[in-house]
Amino acid sequence: MTRIFTDGAEMGDILFFDLSASVYATTNSPVPQYSTWCYGSSNNSTGRKFFTALDELYFRGRFRLNSGNSSYTRMPSFYSDNTEIDWVGVDNANHISANSSAGLLLASTDTPLSNGRWYLIECYLKIGDNPNGRFVIYVDGTKHVDFTGDTKPGANATVNNIHIGNAGGNDIAYDDLALNNTSGLMDNSWCGDGIVVKITPSGSGTVNNWSNSGSVSGSANYLYVDEYPSDTTTYTYCSASSTGVKDKYAMSNLGGGIGSITRIFSEARIKKEVADSTTIKLGYLPNGGTDTMSGSVALYTTYAQAIGTSASANPVTGLAWTVADVNALEYVIEMS
């Protein structure tokens, strides 16, 4: 698979971002379009996410311009380290545009975006000198920008991080972020529309071998990991020497109105107490199957986002996930 990231702010924090300034997660200001949480950026705030360098990519995000108009808005901007290369933005009349560094407008649309409304924005970027560069932008499934020419304004032939937010003048919100590269047999083109939702620990799983901060039976472990945003005063834990030891949780059911399920992945907020080489694995137990685990995930001495490998099909049936499949899952965490 070549999905680089998928995120929808559903953990209620900003740990998705590697660097952030005044970005926040919110449930009500503004209200997300579909799911429970979204990100917000007020004046002079941005979230920054790093990834392996790419020269060609597909991005998806849901965006809402809340107030003002600003040519500093980035939805998103693509960077090589600290050098801005290309970005999706709006001008002072809210016309969406493809832009290159040094403030060069590559192409724009005559149709303005309205404040206070959510839009699905998708873009394809190929970095190259004229005539090899390409920048395409869709809004709510309709192509608004299609530029062929120079998208490589300097020596940088790749990008390795995105900035989302603004440098002044516009309060925006964003949600349901995704990024694909062009490698492999899956997730190598447009991300497509998608809504990120979460299911949460709701009961004791089939294995309860970690300890909890309440020093009570492991069958209560799920009660120590079910707060969003995460509550760092209640938690489960395990010794770094306990390789292979697992904890499992029964999970809540998906809500109504769910259409197709394109992928699932396990997520945690976790840290290690000492600076050693401790890692974990994250995964799930499908009904009628066996534990399906990620590779080893690095830990840090401060709380950070940990993500397991995503799966687009149920390993038991080989078919796309159904609501019943997901509702029957157990979450699995393992010391590795």
pLDDT (tens digit, 9 = 90+) per residue, 230-269? 999 999 999 999 999 999 999 999 988 888 999 999 999 9
Residues 242/270, Cβ–Cβ less than 8 Å: no
Residues 187/2, Cβ–Cβ less than 8 Å: yes
pLDDT reported for residue 72: 83
Distances (CA, A) of 232 to 37, 170, 245, 271, 304: 20, 33, 22, 10, 12
Domain positions in the chain are 3-180, 201-335
Q: Which fold is adopted by the domain 3-180?
A: Jelly Rolls (2.60.120)
Average pLDDT of the chain to the nearest whole number: 94
pLDDT reported for residue 43: 77
The rounded percent of the chain whose pLDDT value lies above 90 is 86
pLDDT (tens digit, 9 = 90+) per residue, 148-186? 999 999 999 999 999 999 876 678 999 999 999 999 999
CA 191 to centroid of chain Cα atoms: 12
Structure tokens at 95: 């016309």
Q: How many angstroms separate the CA atoms of 140 and 100, rounded?
A: 23
pLDDT of 1 above 60: no
Q: Is 247 exposed, middle or buried (0-12, 13-18, 19+ CB in 10 A)?
A: buried
Collapse the DSSP code of 244 into the 3-class scheme (helix H, G, I; strand E, B; otherwise coil) and give the result. Answer: coil
- pTM given for the model: 0.95
DSSP assignment of 54-120, as one string? ESEEEEEEEEEEEES--TTEEEEEEEETTEEEEEEEE-TT-EEEEEETTTEEEEEEEEEPPTT-EEE
Q: What is the sign, positive or negative, of the torsion defined by CA atoms of 136, 138, 139, 145?
A: positive
pLDDT reported for residue 241: 95
pLDDT (tens digit, 9 = 90+) per residue, 50-97? 999 999 999 999 999 987 667 789 999 999 999 999 999 988 888 999
pLDDT of 23 above 90: yes
pLDDT reported for residue 69: 64
